[in-house]
């Protein structure tokens, strides 16, 4: 954990900053996060979230680890469940999803399957749910040996540790190690500032192509440095060097 982990209030404040109205998964990714595989997608479109991972590992269809994790999860947590990927067996359903929302969790992310989606869709204030898809069957509650809570997992093809920041929207999911969260947020905000200025450039009658060509520089490799330098200058004028 970083220095901000010493205060739950400070951690909560940083998570809330990631919910800036202009923030997207692309901004978090370009700020230094890592994208999960698009096989894990939003099943409740139009919802986005930021929160800290509580990792869970289980076998396809066995629900005990996910239910146990829910019993110890705290507000602002995101359950990140490694359930073995696409399967004919689910590890999550409507009652636990309702329970997660009541407990103040930010979201549930499953590298595996869920069920009861029609019922989940009717829940008031349902939290975001990301999974590989839907499957009605389960294998059962299962013994404790079938899962782990809080240990590093692979989810959507990327490593996730308990405490990592997870950001999700309809475009996908991004993982940020907590030690990098402030740095990634600052870079994401720089990209948002650039986007605002790019919009002003277009509104002035110029094109995106002209802007990107100018920012690429003479040899075409200077885009990132020139982009932020242009965004920081007060005018819309092209860079002269």
**Predicted confidence (pLDDT) at residue 156 exceeds the cutoff of 70:** yes
Instruction: Write the pLDDT tens digit of every residue in 39-83.
Output: 999 999 999 999 999 999 999 999 999 999 999 999 999 999 999
> For the residues 155-165, what does the mean pLDDT come to?
98
Whether the model clears a pTM of 0.85, i.e. scores above it, the answer is: yes
Give the start-to-end residue ranges of the domains of the chain: 3-177, 184-232
Task: Quickly state the pLDDT bin for 234 (edges 50, 70, 90).
Answer: very high
Are residues 52 and 77 in contact, defined by beta-carbon separation less than 8 angstroms?
yes
Q: How many angstroms separate the CA atoms of 92 and 61, rounded?
A: 9
The DSSP result for 152-196, as a single string, is -EEETTEEE-TT-EEEEETTEEEEE-GGGHHHHHHHHHHHHHHHH
Q: How many angstroms separate the CA atoms of 176 and 28, rounded?
A: 8
Task: Quickly state the pLDDT bin for 1 (edges 50, 70, 90).
Answer: very low
Pairs from 95-101 (Cβ < 8 Å, separation ≥ 24): 96/63, 96/66, 96/67, 96/70, 97/123, 97/126, 97/127, 97/129, 98/123, 98/126, 99/70, 100/70, 100/73, 100/127, 101/125, 101/126, 101/127
Are residues 191 and 30 in contact, defined by beta-carbon separation less than 8 angstroms?
yes
Q: How many angstroms separate the CA atoms of 165 and 163, rounded?
A: 6
**Predicted confidence (pLDDT) at residue 159 exceeds the cutoff of 70:** yes
Query: How many whole angstroms from its chain centre is CA 125?
Result: 19
Q: How many angstroms separate the CA atoms of 237 and 216, rounded?
A: 15
> For the residues 149-158, what does the mean pLDDT come to?
98
The DSSP result for 111-168, as a single string, is ESEE--HHHHHTSTTPPPEEESEE--B--BS--GGGEEESS-EEETTEEE-TT-EEEE
Q: What pLDDT shows up at residue 6?
A: 57
Q: Which residue has 């093809």 as its token pair?
A: 157
% the chain with pLDDT above 70: 98
Q: How many angstroms separate the CA atoms of 4 and 73, rounded?
A: 20
Q: Which one of 3.40.50.720, 3.30.590.10, 3.40.50.300, 3.50.30.40 gives the CATH number of domain 3-177? A: 3.50.30.40
């Amino acid at each position: 954990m970083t220095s901000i982990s010493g205060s739950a209030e400070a951690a909560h404040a940083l998570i809330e900053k990631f919910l800036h109205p202009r923030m997207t998964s692309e901004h978090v990714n370009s700020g230094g996060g890592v994208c999960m595989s698009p096989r894990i997608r939003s099943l409740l479109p139009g919802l986005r979230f930021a929160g800290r991972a509580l990792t869970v590992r289980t076998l396809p269809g066995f629900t005990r680890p996910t239910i146990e994790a829910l019993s110890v999860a705290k507000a602002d947590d995101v359950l990140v469940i490694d359930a073995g990927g696409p399967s004919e067996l689910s590890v999550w359903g409507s009652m636990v999803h309702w329970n997660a929302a009541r407990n103040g969790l930010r979201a549930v992310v499953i590298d595996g399957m869920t069920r009861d989606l029609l019922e989940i869709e009717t829940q008031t204030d349902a939290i975001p749910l990301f999974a590989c898809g839907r499957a009605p069957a389960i294998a059962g509650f299962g013994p404790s040996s079938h899962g782990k809570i809080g240990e590093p997992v692979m989810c959507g093809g990327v490593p996730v540790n308990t405490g990592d920041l997870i950001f999700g929207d309809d475009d996908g999911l991004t993982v940020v190690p907590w030690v990098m969260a402030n740095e990634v947020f600052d870079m994401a905000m720089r990209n948002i500032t650039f986007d605002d200025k790019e919009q002003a450039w277009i509104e002035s009658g110029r094109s995106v192509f002209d802007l990107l060509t100018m920012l690429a520089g003479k040899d075409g490799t200077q885009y990132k440095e020139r982009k932020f330098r242009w965004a920081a200058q007060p005018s819309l004028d092209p860079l002269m060097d």
